[in-house]
Amino acid sequence: MQLTPAQIAQYDRDGYLHFPEFFTAAEVEAMRREVGRVSEIDTEMVVREGTSRVPKIMFRMHETDGATASPVFNAAVRLPRTLGVAQQLLRDDDLYLHHTKVNIKAAIEGSIWPWHQDYGSWFNDGIERPTMLTMMVGLDASKEMNGCLYFIPGTHVIGRVDPYFDTSTAYKVWSLTPTDMKRIIGEYGEPVAITGKPGSLTVFDCNLVHASGHNLSVQDRWQAYFCYNTVANRPRDVEKPRPDYVRSRNWKPLETVADDGILQAAMATA
């Protein structure tokens, strides 16, 4: 998939691009089946919450080894439509995945993610430059009622804002202070809700300020995240590094597969 100069300019200006119909219904269903399968696995890479032990995050489904390995997701991160777009926006052909995850925002009780920048955490992983982006894949419809993401367009240009470690919500994350957020919204304007049908794709810069609200609906919301980094920017050594499934040590450059790779993988493993 070749981006237009206008799309690249829009990404550079706003810090994100949204594609409303990116994956087919069959591709979405193949990924959803894999999420359902992996959600039953007992491993530290499937993070559960509450007394019901419902999965809330699943990591490392893109690799070929490990408990959560999924041929379908291994293909999904390497399509010309995904890897190829990341290569164009990062201006580098040698990319790897810092991590992948599937977030499950549970019906009614799915918690907020406070205002933050992804690079707020990734800098602490030993990554020196913000040459990173995330692809968010809608496996369900994303609506304001079920806790969609909100972006503040253009905020990626301000660079990393010094965060604090917020432990007040179910999702512990390096977050931006209320004082910083009031200043940022005053300067950059009101947040934009990122909504869409299943199969939509949103690409956003690692320094773009974003958050999500509670899932107030009666249905879970599933979304997958592919976090790309340049091989040249792989993490330096740090004390007490996070586990491999959130701070990958597989820095081999990704290679593209056929554009129907998701469906090929699904048929091969059926």
pLDDT in tens, 62-86: 999 999 999 999 999 999 999 999 9
Q: Which residues contact 201 (CB under 8 A, 6 or more apart)?
A: 18, 19, 22, 23, 82, 135, 136, 137, 138
- For range 191-198, the mean pLDDT: 97
Which tens digits make up the pLDDT trace of 212-265?
988 899 998 999 999 999 999 999 999 999 999 999 999 999 999 999 999 999
To which CATH superfamily is domain 19-255 assigned?
Answer: q2cbj1_9rhob like domain (2.60.120.620)
Q: Give which of 122, 215, 106 is closest to 174, Cα–Cα.
A: 122
How far is Cα 105 from Cα 103, in angstroms, rounded to an integer?
6
pLDDT band, residue 164 (cuts 50/70/90): confident
Q: Which residues contact 267 (CB under 8 A, 6 or more apart)?
A: none
CA-CA distances (angstroms) from residue 60 to 57, 77, 85, 154, 243? 10, 11, 21, 30, 11
Contact 136/204 with Cβ under 8 angstroms?
yes
Which tens digits make up the pLDDT trace of 124-152?
999 999 999 999 999 999 999 999 999 99
Contact 222/54 with Cβ under 8 angstroms?
no
Task: Note the maximum CA span of the chain.
Answer: 52
- Angle between the N-to-C axes of helices 25-38 and 261-268, in degrees from 0 to 180, rounded to the nearest 10: 50
CA-CA distances (angstroms) from residue 106 to 39, 52, 56, 220? 13, 12, 8, 4
How far is Cα 8 from Cα 5, in angstroms, rounded to an integer?
5
Q: What is the DSSP letter of 158?
A: G
pTM here is 0.96
Q: Which residues pair with 48 in a beta bridge?
A: 55
pLDDT band, residue 53 (cuts 50/70/90): low
pLDDT band, residue 52 (cuts 50/70/90): low
Q: What's residue 50's pLDDT? A: 61
CA-CA distances (angstroms) from residue 253 to 53, 132, 159, 266? 36, 14, 26, 24
